Amino acid sequence: MQASREWSPPGGTLGQILDETRRRLATIGDGNPGPSASGASARPPLAAALRSAHVAVIAEVKRRSPSKGVLNEGLNAATQAVAFEAGGASAISVLTEPAYFGGSGADLRAVRAATSVPVLRKDFHLEEGQLHQALSDGASAVLLIARALPPERLPALTEAARALDLEVVVEVRSEWELERALDAGAGIIGVNSRDLETLEVDERVPAHLIPLIPSGVVAVWESGVRDEADVRRAADHGADAVLVGSALSRSSDPAAHLRTLTGVSRLGRDG
């Protein structure tokens, strides 16, 4: 678990992805489609959807990943999203990063058109223009990774998203990052058991951090969730929701797989 309270540019796989993201942004410009963004309406709220008597499941549309390789290269985003909604997903996460995950904004738009649940744009957001693109594509919320952003950029991007009426999920992996997320006013915090620099999974990270998240903030356990036992473990540590990607991408029947993950009672957290 990262103990330092000094930020330094990420290395490893995360650093490589961020370098690629910067190159892509330099090529396409700021991506700001302006105030007439087509996706600015009909975007159901995410935080409310993750508050229920049961641990909510955020199902992820993901073709491949640096840690798992190819998962489902031929995946149809709209078809997958319809299966997710039928299986009881409270929300859908769409990986839009192209080089490492095989995603695109077109995937997000297809999911938004095919389903009625909230959609999270999961990407490596560094600039405000990416937030405008998320709005245009119909996202309800965007992911901000605390490790990827210098301390001054996390609150700045959080505020920029809020000004666009986009919710924010801030991803953390240390107590300092959690403190930064709370100081930025995050209403949803995801704790990733996977270190994006080394790709190693340590379930002790969310087990430690989720109980520290105030009860008024939605807490999401990310990575390593495959079956009902994993959801119950997350619930035991106070998670309001889990994010499930690779297991569903590999499933031959994602709707049926999802049904086995829903229905676990949410136990909540003190404080």
Catalytic residues, by residue number, are 60, 62, 122, 171, 192, 222-223
Handedness of CA 181, 182, 188, 190 (dihedral sign): positive
- Residue 126 φ/ψ region, left for φ over 0, alpha for ψ in the -120 to 50 degree band, beta for the rest: alpha
Do the Cβ atoms of 240 and 216 come closer than 8 Å? no
Displacement of CA 121 from its chain's centroid (Å)? 7
Q: How far is CA 154 from CA 32, 119, 125, 177, in A?
A: 19, 21, 10, 10
Side chain identity at residue 236, one-letter code: D
Using the structure block, give the residue that is written with the tokens 């997710």: 84
In a 10 Å sphere around its CB, with 0-12 CB exposed, 13-18 middle and 19+ buried, how is residue 58 labelled? buried
Helix residue ranges, H only, the chain = 12-28, 46-49, 77-86, 98-101, 105-114, 128-137, 153-163, 175-183, 204-209, 228-236, 246-250, 254-259
Which residues is 172 bridged to in the sheet? 191
Helix axes 175-183 and 153-163, enclosed angle (nearest 10): 40
Give yes or no for a contact between 90 and 52, defined as CB atoms under 8 angstroms apart.
yes
